[in-house]
Amino acid sequence: MGFSVTTLIFAMVGLIASLSTRICFNKGPSANLLHLTLVMTATVCCWMMWAIVYLAQMNPLIVPILSEGE
């Protein structure tokens, strides 16, 4: 699974999460905006962390050197 596919998956998950928050916790437009912001922030944070770790491993400059006795 490449980078873009997983990014798309993150986006989908974010969308589904915000929709379900809208359905379950519908409390007026200002509260909805807050919930949306929170879900978006969480999605972006999680995606960023995954993307950083993924990109760092795509073209590695350091390779694992096993220690003796493994």
Please give the residue ranges that form the binding site for other proteins (CB under 8 A). 1-2, 6, 29-31, 33-34, 37-38, 41-42, 45-46, 48-50, 52-68, 70
Residue 23: CB minimum distance to other proteins, A: 18
CB 55, CB 3: distance < 8 Å: yes
Residue 29: CB minimum distance to other proteins, A: 4
Distance CA 25, CA 36 (A): 11
Residue 63: CB minimum distance to other proteins, A: 4
CA nearest 35: which of 50, 49, 24, 47? 24
